[in-house]
């Protein structure tokens, strides 16, 4: 364990620590964040009245829309100059969700990721092949900081360029790899194709997250790479990856580092807290964040909690796997995408109409997304009302250029490559009174 005294803190002591931090953080945001002062005033909550965990349900939820409404820096509790770093992830519209960290927040981030890596089996002196994306996304730099804190040798490979990843894994001989579960499957498959057996690989542990996965995928990765893989969970709004991690001993639920992130599971419709074991929306209150503390943040992720003692000795509550979401957020190769983001891009392109459908498939181990979108009536007339078959599009430079333009703008805005299919006016599905299926996710089992 990275911080054994904290990770095995007896539950009554943990609770006392949480309650002290909870009352502090509520007073802190009330004092420093005008948004929270308003929210709490409107809810009729006296910050001084929040002292125990039983008071938690009195607090209103913070939702993704609140972040959007306060874009970019409106929820920060410290002056911009005090931020040491900014990260961002996909928002529900064209604008990203922005999060900030003070120096101290980065220290906490590194600590919880170090705990996560240690829980996953990593030890000081081991080498980490970090294939999470570096950049605005919290994955790459998040794992990086935690691995350094733990005393590992970090190889900041970032995502993509599979050929190079395979070479570096064989040449550098890392013991630990971090990436999305689907990318771990890809690496396993590519090694197999090249006749490299798991026994030849140096890898012992894999830390996988950023997208939902199953025991079937776990088996494939464990056998394909010769590792024992664990789940890492997190989200930028709360800190990034490392909010929770499975212990490599049990791999039965992920320990939430609840001295920093106070979890609840609530009913998706009523918002009422649910008892242990019941599936609902995971909600977090940050207990120690300085730059962007959040009260009762509605993650949209569906799971359950268990307080049962774990054989690893950690006392922190465990969450189950993510079973779904309450909103229409898609996760494509670990990257969050909202249909509304796609819609915002399409609205900015005069030659197309925001009538569209997103089809997601899993080809082999990787997600493939197709965006079907209608060209505008004016553009359709301009090109002579041609049938939009692939051959016609390839032959007509205007259609070809339009398809490239849409693909580029989507990639720029969402970070995801989509195959664009142009449809004639009226060809995209329309709502017939019921809910329109904008997204067809064919990955579901």
Q: Which residues bind Zn ion (CB under 5 A)?
A: 247, 250, 310, 312, 314
Candidate list 92, 102, 116, 138; residue touching ligand ADP; CB under 6 A? 138
Phi and psi for 266 in degrees, rounded to 5? -125, 160
Site residues (CB under 6 A) for ligand ADP, limited to 9-38: none
Radius of gyration from C-alpha coordinates of the chain: 23
> Taking contact as CB under 6 A, which single stretch among the options 151-159, 185-193, 236-244, 346-354 is the one that binds ligand ADP?
236-244
Q: Does 212 bind ligand ADP (CB under 6 A)?
A: yes
Distance CA 6, CA 52 (A): 20
Site residues (CB under 6 A) for ligand ADP, limited to 305-334: 322, 331, 334
CA dihedral 99, 105, 16, 245 (to 10 degrees): 80
Binding at 247: pick from K ion, Zn ion, ligand ADP, none (beta carbon under 5-8 Å per type): Zn ion
Site residues (CB under 5 A) for K ion, limited to 318-357: 336
* Number of C-beta neighbours around residue 197 at 10 A: 10
Distance CA 124, CA 140 (A): 19
Closest CA to 51 of 75, 31, 23: 23
Query: For ligand ADP, which is the closer residue by CB, 301 or 353?
Result: 301
Candidate list 141, 201, 210, 217; residue touching K ion; CB under 5 A? 210
Phi and psi for 248 in degrees, rounded to 5? -70, -20
In this structure, are residues 294 and 39 in contact, taking their beta carbons and an 8 Å threshold? no
Candidate list 47, 121, 139, 339; residue touching ligand ADP; CB under 6 A? 139
Site residues (CB under 6 A) for ligand ADP, limited to 180-209: 209
Binding at 312: pick from Zn ion, K ion, ligand ADP, none (beta carbon under 5-8 Å per type): Zn ion
Closest CA to 301 of 319, 275, 288: 319
> Taking contact as CB under 6 A, which single stretch among the options 7-15, 36-44, 228-236, 339-347 is the one that binds ligand ADP?
228-236
Query: For ligand ADP, which is the closer residue by CB, 218 or 372?
Result: 218
In this structure, are residues 265 and 304 in contact, taking their beta carbons and an 8 Å threshold? yes
Give the distance from CA 415 to its chain's centroid.
14
CA angle 357, 269, 211 (to 5 degrees): 50
**Shortest Cβ 393–Zn ion spacing (Å):** 54
Peptide bond into 72 cis (omega under 30): yes
DSSP letter (8 states) at residue 62? B
**Shortest Cβ 375–ligand ADP spacing (Å):** 32
Binding at 236: pick from K ion, ligand ADP, Zn ion, none (beta carbon under 5-8 Å per type): ligand ADP
Closest CA to 246 of 261, 231, 228: 231
Q: Does 413 bind ligand ADP (CB under 6 A)?
A: no
Candidate list 116, 158, 178, 236; residue touching ligand ADP; CB under 6 A? 236
> Taking contact as CB under 5 A, which single stretch among the options 104-112, 187-195, 209-217, 370-378 is the one that binds K ion?
209-217
Q: How many residues bind K ion (CB under 5 A)?
A: 2
Distance CA 192, CA 214 (A): 21
SS3 assignment, position 317: coil
Candidate list 174, 224, 241, 293; residue touching ligand ADP; CB under 6 A? 241
Instruction: Locate 260 and state its tokens.
Output: 């920093």
Q: Which residues here bind K ion, judged by CB under 5 A?
A: 210, 336
Q: Which residues here bind ligand ADP, judged by CB under 6 A?
A: 89, 137-139, 209-212, 231-236, 240-241, 299, 301, 322, 331, 334, 336
């Amino acid at each position: 364990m990275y911080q054994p005294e904290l990770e095995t803190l007896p539950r009554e002591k943990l609770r006392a620590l949480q309650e002290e931090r909870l009352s502090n953080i509520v007073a802190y945001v009330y004092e420093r964040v005008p948004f929270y002062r308003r929210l709490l005033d409107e809810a009729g909550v006296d910050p001084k009245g929040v002292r125990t965990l039983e008071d938690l349900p009195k607090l209103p939820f913070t939702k993704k829309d609140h972040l959007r409404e306060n874009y970019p820096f409106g929820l920060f509790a410290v002056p911009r100059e005090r931020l040491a770093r900014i990260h961002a992830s996909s928002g529900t519209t064209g604008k990203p969700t922005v999060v900030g960290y003070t120096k101290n927040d980065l220290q906490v981030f590194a600590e919880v990721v170090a705990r996560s890596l240690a829980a996953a089996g990593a030890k000081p002196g081991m080498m980490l092949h970090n294939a999470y994306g570096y950049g605005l996304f919290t994955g790459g730099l998040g794992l990086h900081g935690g691995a350094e804190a733990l005393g590992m040798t970090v190889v900041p490979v970032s995502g993509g360029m599979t050929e190079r990843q395979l070479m570096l894994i064989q040449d550098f001989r890392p013991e630990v790899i971090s990436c999305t579960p689907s990318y771990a499957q890809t690496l396993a498959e590519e090694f197999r194709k090249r006749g490299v057996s798991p026994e030849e690989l140096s890898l012992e542990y894999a830390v996988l997250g950023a997208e939902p996965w199953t025991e079937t995928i776990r088996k494939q990765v464990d056998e394909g790479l010769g590792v024992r893989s664990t789940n890492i969970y997190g989200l930028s709004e709360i800190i990034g990856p490392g909010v929770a991690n499975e212990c490599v001993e049990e791999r039965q639920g992920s320990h939430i580092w609840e001295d920093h992130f106070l979890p609840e599971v609530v009913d998706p419709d009523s918002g009422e807290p649910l008892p242990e074991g019941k599936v609902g929306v995971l909600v977090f209150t940050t207990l120690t964040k300085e730059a962007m503390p959040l009260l009762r943040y509605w993650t949209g992720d569906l799971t359950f909690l268990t307080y049962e003692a774990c054989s690893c000795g950690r006392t922190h509550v465990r969450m189950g796997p993510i079973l779904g979401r309450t909103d229409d957020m898609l996760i494509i190769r670990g990257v969050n995408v909202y249909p509304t983001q796609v819609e915002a891009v399409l609205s900015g392109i005069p030659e197309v109409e925001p009538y569209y459908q997103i089809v997601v498939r899993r080809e082999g181990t990787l997600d493939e997304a197709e965006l079907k979108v209608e060209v505008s009536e004016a553009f359709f007339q301009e090109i002579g009302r041609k049938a939009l078959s692939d051959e016609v599009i390839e032959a007509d430079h205007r259609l070809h250029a339009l398809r490239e333009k849409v693909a580029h703008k989507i990639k720029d805005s969402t970070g995801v490559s989509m195959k664009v299919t142009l449809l004639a006016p009226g060809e995209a599905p329309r709502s017939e009174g019921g809910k329109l299926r904008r997204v067809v996710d064919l990955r579901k089992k």
